Amino acid sequence: MKENPYSDRYEQACEHLRLALSLLSEHRLSPSPLNYRIGYDIVAGNDSALKTAFEDKAGGADELTDETLWSLYREAYVEDEDALETMRKALQEIITTLQQDFERSGTSLSGYVRTLDRFSTLLDEPVSPKAMAAEVNKVLGDTRATRQGQSQLRHELSHISSEVESLRRELEQVKEESMTDGLTGIANRKAFDAVLEHTIHTARETGMDFCVVLIDIDHFKLVNDTYGHLIGDKVLRFTATTLKRLVRGKDTVARFGGEEFALILPDTDMDGATTVAEHIRQTVSAGDLKDRNGGSSYGRITVSIGIAAFTPSDLPNKLIDRADRALYLAKEHGRNRVENAA
């Protein structure tokens, strides 16, 4: 049975209901169950890739329709399920084949044992050369057949083992893709939430310090409006690459949604997180994103950053909310700066 993907509390769910219906109404889309699910996941921030795809289509020249949302639904929910269903059926076929091979092998072995028992009994009694020769020939024939059957079984097992290993790799790929942002190649919101839950549990058990950092690209909508979404995508990939390069291997870098990124920094107090954030801010703003063909610059990219340090009473939403309020302060105070939550 699949896990319930929606664990929002009553108040949260009611708020997301209001926002989802408002979103559908804004674009004159019917509040059908399918459309509502997409709207709910967008406003709840459950799927950053879905949110980005919706915003791209909403910002395009064509009017949003139910058919548009059906396409988004298939991309967001159905493709992974189709892949898993295909693998499930393949595994069922492998198991059926394996059972049949063992059944054939078991029948062959039991017949061979009966042949040997009969031959052993024959050796204990006087017997004519003709009868002895017939039994020897039967033993030799059954031995060859059994050997051939076992050889065939080994071959089948080797083939099945290869198929199972191939399916295992496919399953790992599906799992990895479901936790990875398609545009930037870093962790998505789903992966971030999972790591945050684990990190909070570890921090409570061990007393470890850690911080959450939210990073927002300044005036990103202006970049999209001025240069187009392809350049906007380049800015997102540039920012993601910079973040991955500047953090440690045990830190988590994720696309939080739209033009917003998030970091989880284990074994890091507020001073350490502030140092990391300042380094990121300075490195991003020092970068020069240019047109490969014409060589013209797209202007300086800057980021605003908010930091929150974990306290033992924190739930994930509370910790993220403090980091988000710090990020809001950074924007309110002029952008291209770092603020931390008191």
Active site residues: 259
* Distant-in-sequence, close-in-space partners of 273: CB < 8 Å, separation ≥ 6: 211, 213, 265, 307, 309, 340
Distance, CA of 146 to CA of 141 (rounded, Å)? 9
Per-residue 3-state assignment (H helix, E strand, C coil) for 65-92: CHHHHHHHHHHHHHHHHHHHHHHHHHHH
Distance, CA of 214 to CA of 110 (rounded, Å)? 68
Per-residue CA distances from 217 to 30, 105, 227, 285 (Å): 33, 65, 15, 10
Q: Which residues pair with 303 in a beta bridge?
A: 217
Distance, CA of 4 to CA of 11 (rounded, Å)? 18
Structure tokens at 276: 């990391």
Structure tokens at 274: 């502030």
Burial of 301 (0-12, 13-18, 19+ CB in 10 A): buried
Distance, CA of 214 to CA of 235 (rounded, Å)? 17
Distance, CA of 294 to CA of 277 (rounded, Å)? 33
Distance, CA of 324 to CA of 306 (rounded, Å)? 6
What's 7's DSSP letter?
Answer: -
